[in-house]
C-alpha cells in the first residue's frame, strides 16, 4: 500500500498546495535565478529517488511506476532548469558585431 494512513496522504496534498502557492507568488524577475539555484537540490533528490527505486521489490508494480515517474519528472525538472539557466546567462554575453 502506498500510504499507511490518511495523514500521509493529507501531508502530500498539503505540500503540493503549498508548493503551488509559493511558486505562483514568486516574481518573474526572481524565477530564473531561483530555478538555477535549485538544480543541485533537484539532482540530489533524483539520485535519492533512483537509490530508493533500486530497493523496491520487483513485484510491487505500483511503487515501481510511481518511483519511475518521480525520477522522470525530477530529471525533466533538472533539464529544464539547466536550459533556462543557459538562456539566462546568454542574455549577459556581449553581442558581437557583424562585420560587413
State pLDDT tens for residues 41-90.
788 888 888 998 898 888 989 989 988 998 998 898 888 877 877 777 77
pLDDT (mean) for 4-9:
78
Alpha carbon of residue 71 to chain centroid: 9
Backbone phi, then psi, for 50, in 5-degree steps?
Answer: -65, -40
> What does the pLDDT read at residue 98?
64
Q: How many other CB atoms are there within 10 angstroms of residue 49's CB atom?
A: 19
Distance CA 23, CA 31 (A): 8
Exposed e or buried b for every residue in 23-44, given b needs 16+ CB within 10 A? eeeeeeeeebeebbeebeebee
* Residue carrying the nine cell digits 530508493: 52
Amino acid at each position: 500500500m502506498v500510504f499507511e494512513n490518511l495523514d500521509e496522504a493529507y501531508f502530500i496534498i498539503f505540500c503540493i498546495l503549498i508548493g503551488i502557492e509559493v511558486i505562483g507568488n514568486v516574481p518573474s524577475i526572481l524565477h530564473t535565478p531561483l530555478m538555477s539555484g535549485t538544480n543541485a537540490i533537484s539532482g540530489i533528490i533524483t539520485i535519492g529517488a533512483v537509490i530508493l527505486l533500486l530497493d523496491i521489490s520487483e513485484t510491487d508494480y505500483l511503487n515501481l511506476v510511481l518511483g519511475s515517474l518521480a525520477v522522470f519528472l525530477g530529471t525533466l525538472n533538472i533539464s529544464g532548469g539547466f536550459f533556462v539557466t543557459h538562456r539566462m546567462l546568454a542574455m549577459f554575453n556581449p553581442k558581437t558585431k557583424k562585420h560587413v
